[in-house]
Structure 1
Amino acid sequence: MAERDESRDAEVGDGVHKNLGSKKVSWTTLAAGRTDSLNLEAGRFSRSHSHNSKTSWGRTMSLAFQSIGVIYGDIGTSPLYVYSSTFPDGIKHKDDILGVLSLIIYTIILLPMLKYIFIVLWANDEGDGGTFALYSKICRYAKVSLTPNQQPEDRELSNYRLETPSKQLQRAAKIKEKLEKSKIAKQILFLVTILGTSMVMGDGVLTPSISVLSAVEGINSLSENADVWISIAILIVLFSVQRFGTDKVGFTFAPIVSVWFLFISGIGLYNLFKYEIKVLRAFDPRYIIDYFKRNGKRGWISLGGVLLCITGTEAMFADLGHFNVRAVQISFSTMVFPAILAAYIGQGAYLTRYPGDVSNTFYASIPGKIYWPTFVVAVAAAVIASQAMISGAFAIISQSLSLGCFPRVKVIHTSAKYEGQVYIPEINYILMIACVVVTFAFKTTTKIGNAYGIAVVFVMVITTCMVTLIMLMIWKTKIWKIILFVIIFGLIELLYLSSVLYKFKQGGYLPLAFALILMTIMGIWHYVHTKRYMYEVQHKVSTDSMKNIVNSPNINRVPGIGLLYSELVHGIPPIFPHFVNSIPSIHSVLVFVSVKSLPISKVASEERFMFRQIEPRENMMFRCVVRYGYNDVNEPPTQFERHLVENLIDFIRQGHLMLNAVTTEDGDQTTSIQHSTLFATDFGRGRGSVNSAVHVEELQQENRTLGVSSESMNADNLALPLREAEEVRFVQNALDEGVVYLLGETKVIAKQESSLLNKIVVNYVYDFLRKNFRQGEEVMAVPHSRLLRVGMTYEV
């Protein structure tokens, strides 16, 4: 039934658009177009630009500089621990240094530079990156979302594009068709997405631990336990100041990290020329082959340490929404890439002379005169690296909330300049506790590195898989290029993955345990969220039932505007009759508000609200869809109410402009207008009548003042302007009376005939999560003095 309604909506909308230019439009067709005007309302908005809009070179260079401080702290601090993690038992053969250095060089060239900078960055979703962005991009081109996300009105958004595959590209069409028809494929795609995001969350725990601990280890006089306790103290301070937001220290990030890159590149070049310039032979890939021949299984195991040279690579893509593709490409190519290469080459040159210092390579290779300045900058860079991943973890949870994949938490936007910068108190303290526990339990960067590698390479493999799907279905890339992409990057990442999984017992289990816990929470919440949504779709109130409820003599209309919230986009939610039965009254203006999260990054403000009139018109009841992207900021209640009413009035006026245009074309319109009903203004009872003759006289007097002849103005011609004025005045008066929020407290339980597993998941696990996280009114910051809640039980 819902699908038929949506189809009819689209047909009616298109029909009205076409008929407005013709000479005849019947009142029935126009009324249908007016009341089912969600598509019209969406279509009339202007096209807004996205993150991908052209940016001036000056602005791009400024963003490139800022990105140095936000994105590259993690990959920039990797030289602190890569060699020590690769050679935990010391260097057995001098040429092993060249082999490992060659591995580091080509790993950085192939994965961060070639794969991410030149390919993956272009797979962004309207300028935003990360695993959720890849998933949302795929969902917009194929109906693979587990919850309905492609209603007709969504396709009209300026940054919500659906592309119909051409006949010449049958491959893309076949893949899309198979995905849409396979429920298993949809579930796998969703599970892969939440696995990737869970692994990035694991990075949010491991990055602060390994970065801070590796920096503090530079104090040689401290014992191991002292390093751990100092690191824990720094971590506690770091998480305690998160509530102030990264924007408070914004522009200090880039200069500090830039100084760090200058330090490590300068030290690297100094060591290269002082100790052994011949290490540049490592650019010959044959040293990699010799390394594996010489070390065999031990060389394969050491790949887990080499992998750490590209930690933080995913941040270049995940944090893309703060900048743009060109800015990230410029900053990495001109600053980061040469600096970290110089650092690793310099450390390799130092180790050829002092192989016994491999456990503390970075600090041992620093010239004595600049040791302490380098140490201070290293600690600052490590903190910044931690900050970037913590902020990324907040952003991921925020995206998960928007897609119905995580229990409600309080999201605080800490920056007006960077919309993606958010702070989530609950997640912040969970991460802090996890970081402290990891640091205390593992104590050394080598052990944490075993866990860290799995999280890094898992996300890379998932990104490769999803980008391959995008190349097949959306970009429609030539097949030989796709095969080349999969063979080169897929095989390299699988090789690294096999190596880090070998260290599962030595700490590799940790990110997998994190991921399992997060996936369980996200999967269960999304499963019940989907069931709840489908229940509302199947039990929505019919048109006849709605008329009977509203016209019942036992129902009173009270002054003001009532906003009844529901997740149902099409139709009246089943909670409404329950409200009326519990409290037999309806506000003079009632708006059924559906806050809909779309799988796109942002919705333009002028496209946020969409309205539909609920007939009969004199009841002043509307349906409103409020659309948000996963990176949009929720407005405060007062601002939200003002914008909603402004858009409602605009909707009313646009409808009357359309009616006026049609009236001038259709001579038969007069009879229909004469039978239309003007609205009540008796706010004490909410119903009444209006003396239209008085208003006709007032409008005629106004037109005589303006020089318009009274002969050209009769009651029939004035009906529409009067109707518009009455509706607008009615809504404004209702706003003056106050806005009340109506929230349904729905409890979801499993059906009696459900399986035991389903009952445990729905009745206990989901219910536990719902009770122990924030409620709806807390997330939306609804004023308690204007909140009315009614409970109802859904059996799913």
Structure 2
Amino acid sequence: MEEILPPDESTREESIDQERQLEEVCQEKGLKTRKLSWQKLRRYDSLDIESRSIGAFQSIGIVYGDIGTSPLYVYSSTFTNGIKHNDDILGVLSLIFYTITLIPLLKYVFFVLKANDNGDGGTFALYSLICRYAKVGLTPSEQAEDREVSNFQLELPNNRLKRASRLKSKLENSKSAKYFLLFATMLGTSMVIGDGVLTPCISVLSAVGGIKEAKSSLTQGLHSYLEARATNLNHLIWSKAQLFGSSQALPGMASPYNDTVGPRFGTDKVGYTFAPIICVWFALIAGIGVRNFIKFDRTVVKAINPKYIVDYFQRNKKDAWISLGGIVLAITGTEALFADVGHFTVRSIQISMCSVTYPALIMAYTGQASFLRKNKELVGDTFYKSIPHHLYWPMFVVAVAAAIIASKAMISGTFSIIQQSLSLGCFPRVKIVHTSTKYEGQVYVPEANYLLMLACVAVTLGFRSTTKIGNAYGIAVVFVMTLTSSFLVLIMVMIWKTNILLVITYVVIIGSVELLYLSSVLYKFDQGGYLPLAFAGLLMAVMFVWNDVYRRKYFYELEHKISPERVKEITNDGNFCRLPGLAMFYSELVQGIPPIFKHYAANVPALHSVLVFVSIKSLPISKVPPEERFLFRRVEPNDLHVFRCVARYGYTDVRNESEPFEKMLVEKLKDFIKDDFWLFHIDPTRSITNGEPVDAENDVGEMKNGVTTHDEVNVVENANSKRVEEEKRHEMLDREIEALDRAWRAGVVHLIGENEVVASKGSGIAKRIMIDYAYNFLKKNLRQTDKVFDIPHKRLLKVGMTYEL
């Protein structure tokens, strides 16, 4: 993709003058124009999108539940074999302090959040951002017109272009690099979904662990059973509460999981509901931390000196390195901070993190360290043992509530990532329920919700302890962070064009810290760490199979597409009749007419009076403005009334039922017909001279009085002839618009190609297994195209065809 640099002032003024001239001519002809300005073409990020701004207070209730509940289990997960030296507490506290400062605060809040894709975050947003600046997509569906979408091309700085261009060229020319980026995105997506499974397990197990402290008479077996049951019950209750909190079932519904739920609450109300609970949680852990700091040991403030980290490693060597797998749990949920940025502004998250979350966490860990300096034998139950007796039960209730809310952050992030993956063709078709009419980022995926619930229960019953779940959780967290850093380095070099010294500094400091943590968590692979990798492997296999066959189908249609000349031959066949009505023929092909149309015409020799080939296309941006949604092309000749249409959507766009798709398409098609008509039938009686439209008759009169004289009779005859031609052109346009209106009134039929795919003859066994068995199994057991597009069944016609790939 070519880079578009800011124009200079003279070019900008000239372009604005040309737009003004074109607008005046078009208004004279009744031609609708889309007014583009340099202000509209500039980038709008999350700092500017006020309609999506909810505020720092609400972000506390949605974003920070996971990282906020980390004090429940960090020290117990770090000192699994007890505390051998009292200064080890200072070393671990120092590690926690600098880890929270470097990763969540410095890296994410001040760097990663700025890499949002027009306000949306997550691994997919980083990948889509890279796709917009380099042609690294594996499906050849790019169109030059896509660059005209307001949000598509961001304004770039004009320095350090050479290094950025070199990196961009290498990515575009290397097929292995394209595959690597896609696989890395799939891996990051799979790991975040894995977080959505593990977060409820470890958070709730740690929270309900307080029952053991209150009822010491419970046996360990009964306690484990209650823990598993509590987590199961929590996830079930939470799954229902999430829907009831964001949706309201219509009258007569028996189940809240019914697909036809209606929106009720948006992110703002959800945020206002949860924010007070999380704020109370932060206030309690911070207050208890200050109390413990004053009561037990104030000298732990020495941990701000990194010397204690060095001493800790010198004293414990390999054991210190292994313990990093527990320390990294202090920053769990950091990826949710980035994935959920689409619901807020960057500024609101920065404010809430710096003013509430970060100080509360530091005080909580400092207070626990002070407590352990005097009670190191109680490290296994640090959190509940350090709570004052009179605050025990209030703290237990708030802890369980905070753990449930912590689950919500990652589960919501999982739903958002699945929605984003669908637009890339990397995830099987599932139903997306938009639970808010005001904020498009609020989505619910029923199939994923049930699978997450079952996986959560299975993990809890299988592991039954926070130690093994913590090992698995650590791997998922660090893997996602490392992948985010890798994508961010590409963005810094290729898009931001950051000074190379700053890039190297980032890699050396942040990269080395994350790689050190990654090496530690991988050491515990056989102690539960295999779970997220196995889970990610399964998800990646599903995503790869779906994406690979998706691309093969696209290339098959591209190679066998029908030319406009062939369409003309088919429709002009004497045995081919035209029926009243409007037919929309859906396809994923954007470069031509799909081969399935020939198959349809050969078996059904009838065609509606107006036919539109519709391609639903996903752009690598978060949102496409409605006025830029549709691209139309006419299939010649005009009397065929055959059109091609590309409907462009971003990965957070909502197909709103209040604006029916077919109605919007017809209205935009009328605008296109008018535009297309006048562009190819320019009025010869008007021209543009020196920026002003000039009428031919007045011009003749002026010349006669001033410089030149003409025969008045010829002038009048020519003017009358032109008026007649003008009226005929208006009649032609009116007839074409009326033909479209008649077809619309006669009814709309939706035609969908129901393609069966099989491996071509002579294919290898791996290809046959992938296409004939794996892909077709997924396709048969998931939603069909008509359900994804919400097409009315009464007006749906499926056309079957077999593709040999």
What TM-score do you get using the length of structure 1 for normalisation? 0.87
**Structure 2 gap ranges (5+):** 1-16, 26-30, 247-264, 689-718
Q: 1:126 to 1:270 in 2, by over 3 A?
A: same
Q: Tell me which residue corresponds to 1:749.
A: 758
Measure, in 2, the Cα distance between the counterparts of 1:416 and 1:168.
43
State which of 190, 199, 202 in structure 2 corresponds to 1:207: 199
Q: Does 172-181 or 749-758 show the bigger shift?
A: 749-758
Work out the number of aligned pairs and report it: 724
Measure, in 1, the Cα distance between the counterparts of 2:97 and 2:367.
12
Contact between 1:48 and 1:604, CA under 8 Å: does it hold in 2? no
Q: Secondary structure at the match of 1:155?
A: helix
Tell me whether 1:767 sits opposite 2:776 in the alignment.
Answer: yes
Q: Tell me which residue corresponds to 1:449.
A: 470
State which of 295, 301, 322 in structure 1 corresponds to 2:322: 301
Measure, in 1, the Cα distance between the counterparts of 2:141 and 2:36.
18
Measure, in 1, the Cα distance between the counterparts of 2:184 and 2:626.
32
Q: Tell me which residue corresponds to 1:483.
A: 504
State which of 153, 165, 173 in structure 1 corresponds to 2:165: 173
Measure, in 1, the Cα distance between the counterparts of 2:35 and 2:138.
24
Q: Tell me which residue corresponds to 2:179.
A: 187
**Paired amino acid for 1:52:** D
Measure, in 1, the Cα distance between the counterparts of 2:684 and 2:577.
35
Tell me whether 1:284 sits opposite 2:305 in the alignment.
Answer: yes
Q: Tell me which residue corresponds to 1:232.
A: 232
Q: Secondary structure at the match of 2:337?
A: helix
Q: Tell me which residue corresponds to 2:698.
A: none
Q: How does 1:112-191 map to 2 (within 5 A)?
A: 112-161=104-153, 169-191=161-183
Shift, 1:169, TM fit: 2.2
Shift, 1:162, TM fit: 6.4
Q: 1:471 to 1:584 in 2, by over 3 A?
A: same
Contact between 1:596 and 1:626, CA under 8 Å: does it hold in 2? yes
Tell me whether 1:370 sits opposite 2:391 in the alignment.
Answer: yes
Shift, 1:166, TM fit: 6.1
Contact between 1:409 and 1:426, CA under 8 Å: does it hold in 2? yes
Q: How does 1:313-462 map to 2 (within 5 A)?
A: 313-462=334-483
Contact between 2:42 and 2:155, CA under 8 Å: does it hold in 1? no
Measure, in 2, the Cα distance between the counterparts of 1:164 and 1:48.
12
Contact between 1:206 and 1:448, CA under 8 Å: does it hold in 2? yes
Measure, in 2, the Cα distance between the counterparts of 1:346 and 1:81.
14
Q: Tell me which residue corresponds to 1:469.
A: 490
Shift, 1:561, TM fit: 0.9
Q: Secondary structure at the match of 1:790?
A: strand
Contact between 1:603 and 1:627, CA under 8 Å: does it hold in 2? yes
Measure, in 2, the Cα distance between the counterparts of 1:262 and 1:165.
43
State which of 57, 61, 86 in structure 2 corresponds to 1:94: 86
Shift, 1:543, TM fit: 2.0
Q: Secondary structure at the match of 2:744?
A: helix
**Paired amino acid for 1:224:** S
State which of 297, 300, 310 in structure 1 corresponds to 2:331: 310
Q: Tell me which residue corresponds to 1:691.
A: none
Q: Tell me which residue corresponds to 1:52.
A: 45
**Paired amino acid for 2:73:** Y
Measure, in 2, the Cα distance between the counterparts of 1:468 and 1:549.
53
Measure, in 2, the Cα distance between the counterparts of 1:245 and 1:520.
34
Shift, 1:283, TM fit: 0.5
Measure, in 1, the Cα distance between the counterparts of 2:587 and 2:658.
17
Tell me whether 1:791 sits opposite 2:784 in the alignment.
Answer: no
Measure, in 1, the Cα distance between the counterparts of 2:567 and 2:157.
41
Shift, 1:293, TM fit: 0.6
Q: Tell me which residue corresponds to 1:6.
A: none
Shift, 1:282, TM fit: 0.6
Moved >2 Å (runs of 4+): 17-22, 40-51, 53-60, 162-169, 222-225, 239-249, 634-638, 653-667, 710-715
Contact between 2:46 and 2:344, CA under 8 Å: does it hold in 1? no
Tell me whether 1:602 sits opposite 2:648 in the alignment.
Answer: no
Q: 1:788 to 1:44 in 2, by over 3 A?
A: farther
Residues 558-604 of structure 1, C-alpha deviations (whole Å, 9 max, x = no match): 11110100001121111111111121111111110000011111111
Tell me whether 1:737 sits opposite 2:746 in the alignment.
Answer: yes
Q: Does 166-175 or 329-338 show the bigger shift?
A: 166-175
Q: What is the alpha-carbon root mean square deviation over aligned residues?
A: 2.6
Contact between 1:141 and 1:163, CA under 8 Å: does it hold in 2? no
Residues 97-152 of structure 1, C-alpha deviations (whole Å, 9 max, x = no match): 11100000000001111111111111111111111011011111011111124311
Residues 259-303 of structure 1, C-alpha deviations (whole Å, 9 max, x = no match): 111111111111111111111111111000000111111111000
State which of 62, 65, 75 in structure 2 corresponds to 1:70: 62
Q: 1:532 to 1:445 in 2, by over 3 A?
A: same
Residues 424-470 of structure 1, C-alpha deviations (whole Å, 9 max, x = no match): 11111111000000111111111110100000000010011110011
**Paired amino acid for 2:307:** R
**Paired amino acid for 1:81:** Y
Shift, 1:19, TM fit: 13
State which of 717, 727, 733 in structure 1 corresponds to 2:736: 727
Contact between 1:129 and 1:317, CA under 8 Å: does it hold in 2? yes
Measure, in 2, the Cα distance between the counterparts of 1:666 and 1:274.
87
Q: Tell me which residue corresponds to 2:716.
A: none
Shift, 1:735, TM fit: 1.2
Contact between 1:20 and 1:662, CA under 8 Å: does it hold in 2? no
Q: 1:539 to 1:665 in 2, by over 3 A?
A: farther
Q: Tell me which residue corresponds to 1:696.
A: none
Shift, 1:232, TM fit: 1.7
Shift, 1:730, TM fit: 1.8
Residues 724-770 of structure 1, C-alpha deviations (whole Å, 9 max, x = no match): 22222221221111111000111112211322211111111111111
Q: Tell me which residue corresponds to 1:618.
A: 639
**Paired amino acid for 1:128:** D
Measure, in 1, the Cα distance between the counterparts of 2:154 and 2:95.
42
Q: Secondary structure at the match of 2:616?
A: strand
Measure, in 1, the Cα distance between the counterparts of 2:360 and 2:639.
70
Shift, 1:243, TM fit: 3.5
Q: Tell me which residue corresponds to 2:254.
A: none
Measure, in 1, the Cα distance between the counterparts of 2:578 and 2:659.
23
**Paired amino acid for 2:280:** V
Measure, in 2, the Cα distance between the counterparts of 1:58 and 1:420.
12
**Paired amino acid for 1:492:** V
Measure, in 2, the Cα distance between the counterparts of 1:493 and 1:541.
52
Contact between 2:163 and 2:494, CA under 8 Å: does it hold in 1? yes
Q: 1:49 to 1:263 in 2, by over 3 A?
A: farther
Q: 1:49 to 1:646 in 2, by over 3 A?
A: farther
Measure, in 1, the Cα distance between the counterparts of 2:767 and 2:49.
54
Contact between 1:208 and 1:383, CA under 8 Å: does it hold in 2? yes
Contact between 2:204 and 2:404, CA under 8 Å: does it hold in 1? yes
Residues 675-724 of structure 1, C-alpha deviations (whole Å, 9 max, x = no match): xxxxxxxxxxxxxxxxxxxxxxxxxxxxxxxxxxx958743111222122
Measure, in 2, the Cα distance between the counterparts of 1:637 and 1:791.
31
Q: Secondary structure at the match of 1:477?
A: coil
Q: Tell me which residue corresponds to 2:518.
A: 497
Q: 1:327 to 1:83 in 2, by over 3 A?
A: same
**Paired amino acid for 2:164:** A
Q: Does 238-247 or 742-751 show the bigger shift?
A: 238-247
Q: Tell me which residue corresponds to 1:777.
A: 786
Q: How does 1:469-618 map to 2 (within 5 A)?
A: 469-618=490-639
Measure, in 2, the Cα distance between the counterparts of 1:324 and 1:519.
31
Q: 1:209 to 1:775 in 2, by over 3 A?
A: same
Q: Does 200-209 or 581-590 show the bigger shift?
A: 581-590
Q: 1:51 to 1:78 in 2, by over 3 A?
A: farther
Q: Tell me which residue corresponds to 2:244.
A: 244
Q: Tell me which residue corresponds to 1:218.
A: 210
Measure, in 2, the Cα distance between the counterparts of 1:172 and 1:309.
36
Measure, in 2, the Cα distance between the counterparts of 1:277 and 1:765.
61
Identity across matched positions, percent: 55
